[in-house]
Amino acid sequence: MSDGAAQLLDSLDALACGLFLLTSFGIVATRQARGCLQLFIAQSLLLAASAALLGLRFHAAHLYGVALVNLVTKPIIVPWLLRKTSPAGIYTRREVEQVLNIPVTLTISLALAIFAYFVGIPLARAAGPQFVGPNVPIGVAGLLLGALTLTVRREALPLLVGLLAMENGAFLAGISIARDLGMLVELAIATDGLVIVFIMGVLVRAVQQHVGTTAVGELASLRESGGQSGDAEVTT
Amino acid sequence: MTQHILFNLLQVAVVLGFAPLAAGVLARLKEIVQSKRGPSVVQPYRDLWKLFHKDEVVSEESSWIFRFTPYVLFVTPIFVVLLIPVLTTYPLFLAFMGDMLGVGFVLALGGFFSTVAAVDAANPFGAVGASRTRMVSFLAEPVFMIVFFTVSFVAGSTIPYIVQQKWVTPIANFFTPSHVLLMIAFVMLILAEGGRIPVDNPSGHFELAMIDESKWLEYSGPGLALVKWGGQMKFFVLMCVFLNVLVTPWGLASGHTLGAVVLAIPLVLLKILGFLLVLVVIESSLAKLRLFRIVEFLGAAFITAVAAMIVQVFSA
């Protein structure tokens, strides 16, 4: 491979990672559940693109497999499964109230991204001199931002998307470090993810049927509604 | 030397001449997307002509600022044109006077005077619009700064003529994440500073929802013409900074002959047409944000710019 082509592939991979970071920020801060899901789909496509580019760059056929698995499961099967299992009204729902307001959440997520670079760069260096690239730090950032999504969101679907985004982040870091993991592992992880989505979808449907809402962040106050204190009423 | 002065004047003439055309084309394209015919693309010229031939009314209560402001708004974009590459890849006669920060300062001067003049006329909507514009611009300010920081990290300079070469030599640089993220952040800035749709509705005439336009409600006749023309030129200049410095330095004249510089005019206009098409897609597919959502819009722009800086600075 010529030097110029390698450089171009490197910067295209870095671009995919940079946009991946942007979608992670978006998932934390988007109000509407549908937008959150669309950002997740875009993020998965970027992950697949990064895997394919790294495969091309290092001639690792295994990474094409990763790209293919990601291309099939996350942008296609996950939304389809969610549509099948969870109630339809969930997609148009807006989060009226978040734990923190959006500018504060964004500021925290910026700090997390910078922290991820401080953690991720030494991690990549420790893995070996050939692993320097934006994949590991941005993957760690994706992981942390997914965790932040889980923390600040109160609607069921964005929470699920946050969980899946964490997995995406781990994948993004993983594909640059382990270029020839067994294909079986990838398939197992992908199936695992689908099972999680399926179970969560069914769970969300059950929650909605019982409680009439998918704002699971409010379920904590529901538990106390048996009786004694005055502030225990359920607000929807 | 004389040649460079001539080219400089040519640049100013291009911006003076084509800024209303760009506004007209944008308005027409938007109408076409909405399945309407819309006014002709030369309508802004007709408006300016009409306004220059009308009488001007100035409130007795207003001070000299009110009368002075149209000239400031008209002149500041022209100053900026002397500093940035509009047609040539090499610096012209007066380009040594300022870098991209200078461009920001000069444009901010116009913004300051328009705010003060809006309050000066004592029209209540003027004050409302002025405070809203200040809100948008002080939120846009940090984004501008981070964009310039990142640019100077990448290019080692804030002089536009040096910056524009960095992105395309070698071509792999064009696809670096910091470059693409910067472009996204800057488009959001142009939308905010130009008063375009997710932030402000340029074609709306409802006083309570106005941001940019309510500052000019008291102007009439030639004063209004200067303000309008200045606003169109400011938008044109922002597009030139974006396209010629940050995105695509292709199509600019690198030769020192008059022919090469004149040939660059249609190429630059073509690039601007391409950008206007992108802008029409953005404006037609988004709704105007409520006032306090603008904070989130510019917060997203800030995040994008900071992400560009993180990716650039820490990966090195």
Chain A: closest CA distance from residue B140 (Å):
14
Q: Is the pLDDT of residue B170 over 80?
A: no
What's the pLDDT score for residue A236? Answer: 47
Burial string for A167-192 (b: 16+ CB within 10 Å, else e) reads: bbbbbbbbbbeebebeeeebeebbee
Q: Is A84 exposed, middle or buried (0-12, 13-18, 19+ CB in 10 A)?
A: exposed
Q: How many residues does chain B have?
A: 316
Chain A: closest CA distance from residue B223 (Å):
39
What's the pLDDT score for residue A228? Answer: 47
If one counts every other C-beta atom within 10 angstroms of the C-beta of residue A101, the result is 12
pLDDT, mean of residues A70-99: 80
- Percent of chain B scoring above 70 in pLDDT: 100
Contact A22 B176 (CB under 8 A): no
Alpha carbons A6 and B167: distance in angstroms, whole number: 17
pLDDT, mean of residues B209-234: 90
If one counts every other C-beta atom within 10 angstroms of the C-beta of residue B191, the result is 22
What pLDDT digit, counting tens, does each position of B274-285 carry? 999 999 999 999
- Percent of chain A scoring above 70 in pLDDT: 88
Contact map slice: A 43-82 vs B, CB within 8 A: none
**How does residue A222 score in pLDDT terms, banded at 50, 70 and 90?**
low
On whether any CB of chain B is under 8 Å from the CB of A102, the answer is: yes
Chain A: closest CA distance from residue B261 (Å):
32
Q: Is B293 exposed, middle or buried (0-12, 13-18, 19+ CB in 10 A)?
A: middle
* A25 contact residues in B (CB cutoff 8 A): 300, 303-304, 307
Contact B177 A17 (CB under 8 A): yes
How many structural domains is chain A composed of? 1
What pLDDT digit, counting tens, does each position of A191-220 carry? 888 888 888 888 888 887 777 777 776 666
* B310 contact residues in A (CB cutoff 8 A): 113-114, 117
**How does residue A230 score in pLDDT terms, banded at 50, 70 and 90?**
very low
ipTM (interface pTM): 0.86
Q: Is the pLDDT of residue B252 over 80?
A: yes
**How does residue B215 score in pLDDT terms, banded at 50, 70 and 90?**
confident
Nearest C-alpha neighbor of B189 from the set B249, B240, B130, B136? B136
* A28 contact residues in B (CB cutoff 8 A): none
Residue of B nearest to A5 (CA): B172
Structure-model confidence comparison of residues A145 and B291, the more confident one: A145
Q: Is the pLDDT of residue A87 over 80?
A: no
Contact A114 B311 (CB under 8 A): no
pTM for the predicted model, two decimal places: 0.89
Helical segments of chain B, H only: 2-33, 43-52, 64-83, 100-120, 124-155, 160-166, 177-193, 221-240, 258-285, 294-315
Task: Select from A4, A22, A26 the Cβ nearest to the Cβ of B181.
Answer: A22
* A103 contact residues in B (CB cutoff 8 A): 295-296, 299
Q: Is the pLDDT of residue A130 over 60?
A: yes
* B305 contact residues in A (CB cutoff 8 A): none
* B304 contact residues in A (CB cutoff 8 A): 22, 25
Q: Torsion over CA of B5, B6, B12 and B18, rounded to 10 degrees? A: -160
* A17 contact residues in B (CB cutoff 8 A): 177, 311
Contact B171 A8 (CB under 8 A): yes
- Helix (H) or strand (E) holding A13, with range, is helix A3-29
Mean pLDDT of chain B: 89
Chain B: closest CA distance from residue A18 (Å):
5
What pLDDT digit, counting tens, does each position of A160-176 carry? 899 999 999 998 988 88
Q: Is the pLDDT of residue B176 over 90?
A: no
Find the domain containing A200 and state its range: 3-232
What's the pLDDT score for residue B207? Answer: 74
**CB-defined contacts A:B, below 8 A:** 77
What pLDDT digit, counting tens, does each position of A62-76 carry? 888 889 988 988 899
What's the pLDDT score for residue B11? Answer: 92
* B180 contact residues in A (CB cutoff 8 A): 15, 18-19
What pLDDT digit, counting tens, does each position of A107-128 carry? 999 999 999 999 888 888 887 7
Chain B: closest CA distance from residue A71 (Å):
22
Contact map slice: A 16-35 vs B, CB within 8 A: 17-19, 21-22, 25-26, 29
What's the pLDDT score for residue A142? Answer: 95
* B314 contact residues in A (CB cutoff 8 A): 114, 117, 121, 137
What's the pLDDT score for residue B80? Answer: 92
- Helix (H) or strand (E) holding A174, with range, is helix A156-177
pLDDT, mean of residues B10-16: 94
What's the pLDDT score for residue A227? Answer: 47
Contact A7 B172 (CB under 8 A): yes
Contact A21 B296 (CB under 8 A): no
Chain A: closest CA distance from residue B176 (Å):
5
Alpha carbons A163 and B80: distance in angstroms, whole number: 49
3-state secondary structure of B163: helix
Contact B181 A18 (CB under 8 A): yes
Chain A interface, best mutation among B135, B310, B312, B313, by max A CB count within 10 A:
B310
Chain B interface, best mutation among A3, A9, A22, by max B CB count within 10 A:
A22
**How does residue A1 score in pLDDT terms, banded at 50, 70 and 90?**
low
Alpha carbons B196 and B280: distance in angstroms, whole number: 10
What pLDDT digit, counting tens, does each position of B54-91 carry? 999 988 888 999 999 999 999 999 999 998 888 888 88
What pLDDT digit, counting tens, does each position of B101-112 carry? 888 889 999 999
- Measured CB to CB, residues of chain B less than 8 Å from chain A are 170-173, 175-178, 180-181, 184, 295-296, 299-300, 302-304, 306-308, 310-311, 314-315
According to DSSP, the residues that pair with A94 across neighbouring strands are A32
Task: Select from A103, A121, A137 the Cβ nearest to the Cβ of B296.
Answer: A103
What pLDDT digit, counting tens, does each position of A152-164 carry? 988 888 888 999 9
Contact B170 A7 (CB under 8 A): yes
